Amino acid sequence: MTDQTLTQARAGDEQAFRELTDHHRRELQLHCYRILGSVQDAEDMVQETLLAAWRGLARFEERASVRTWLYRIATNRCLNALRDSRRRPQGQQPPEPPFEPSEPTRRAEPLWLEPYPDVLLDGIPEAAPGPAARYEAKESISLAFVAAVQHLPPRQRAVLLLRDALGFRAAEVAAMLDSTETSVNSALQRARGTLDSRLPASGRERPPLPRSPRERQLAERFAEAYQGGDLDGLLRLLTEDAWLTMPPATLEYQGRDAISAFLTGGARWRDGRALKLVPTSANGQPAFGTYLQDAHADIFHAHGLIVLTLEGDRISAITRFIDNSVLPHFGFPRTMR
């Protein structure tokens, strides 16, 4: 950023304003997604952030960088959205599978979470997290991490993400939230405790590198077994303590026997109709758009999205998103032949 560009933007030059802000847009969207768990809500918050920045540019005092200033606006917009009782999930009943499911391992609270398309990560600078960040970039975009964050109170979410995912200093976060360093550090300790209790235990095998031959081979084996109705083959790919979840549905299944019972019920409901899986990636993990054959026509209808969590050469979690509204974010159509 140059002083001239800032001066021009303050004088009403929209092109100069875009030069100041456009290269921060993708990372701001990811930040809002981590807080809200929704791709569409995150995009809405980025739009609100940029509009507020444009209108408030004359009041920008340059005590911090433009990037830090934008994060301040975006974070507070997200916190306001979480406090808004009219926000989308309020009052909605979570969807259930279209068949009578087997008894789950447990029933959790509804988790209003969407997958994040990896294509939206491409414009984010590799060096975005600061040196004080506690989590690696790929760790802090994983489904497990974002899901765990959704269980934190709003202010703790903001503090943890700004400090541990982005690496802002405590003083910077306090200024962003109109708080004190003591309050920020206290919220951070509470948030870390909750997050540690919800994330997978340390010491587990690391997953293959994203887009590596190992990851691709494991994902292909899963797709082949899933599409082919090879339940035994699919179960052999799972860790013994693997989970199958369907946010925001409350049903959760752990272990091969429980997952087998649920998938068997799904196969009976499909009654011979074929499944088609189309590969993609979400949250830095292998994923598939899923399509179900029409019973009366040569066409496949959208049937949600699957995201795999890998551990070594096995699958430790299958996250099944039933809602077809997530598919357009991945460029998938509603139907295909």
User: Tens digits of per-residue pLDDT, 73-114?
Assistant: 999 999 999 988 555 555 567 777 888 899 999 999 899 999
CA distance 264 to 234: 12
- Cα of 321 vs its chain's centroid, Å: 12
The pLDDT value recorded for residue 120 is 93
The candidate with the shortest Cα–Cα distance to 72, out of 52, 42, 100, is 52
Domain CATH number, residue 45: 1.10.1740.10
Of residues 133 and 37, which shows the higher confidence score? Answer: 37
pLDDT at 276: 96
Do 328 and 263 share a domain, yes or no? Answer: yes
- Among 146, 174, 199, where does a domain finish? 199
Asked whether residue 190 falls in the same domain as residue 255, the answer is no
Q: In the prediction, which pLDDT does 90 show?
A: 52
* Residues 236 and 193 grouped into a single domain: no
pTM: 0.93
Alpha-carbon span 162 to 255, nearest angstrom:
35
Which pLDDT tens digit goes with each residue over 175-194? 999 999 999 999 999 999 99
Do 150 and 35 belong to one domain?
A: no
Model confidence at 213: pLDDT above 90: yes
For residue 102, what are the contacts with CB-CB under 8 A and spacing of at least 6?
253, 258, 261, 262, 264, 265
Number of domains in the chain: 3
Asked if residue 231 is part of any domain, the answer here is yes
- Determine the structural domain holding residue 179 and report its residue range: 133-199
Encode pLDDT of 246-257 as tens digits.
999 999 999 999
Return the number of other C-beta atoms located less than 10 Å from residue 136's C-beta: 11
Show which of 54, 85, 116 is a domain's final residue.
85
Torsion on CA atoms 227, 231, 233, 238, rounded to nearest 10: 100
The pLDDT score that the predictor gives to residue 92 is 67
Residue 337 to residue 324: CA distance in whole angstroms: 17
Predicted confidence at residue 132, as pLDDT, reads 74
Q: The CATH number of the domain where 227 resides is what?
A: 3.10.450.50
* Selection from 77-91, 110-124, 211-225 with the highest mean pLDDT: 211-225
What's the CA gap between 231 and 5, in Å, rounded? 60
In a shared domain, residues 154 and 218 = no
Same domain, 187 and 223: no
- CA torsion 260→266→268→271, rounded to 10°? -140
Pseudo-torsion of CA 58, 59, 64, 66, nearest 10°? -40
Domain containing residue 175: CATH number: 1.10.10.10
User: What would the mean pLDDT of 160-185 be, rounded to a whole number?
Assistant: 96
Q: Indicate the residue among 147, 175, 199 that finishes a domain.
A: 199
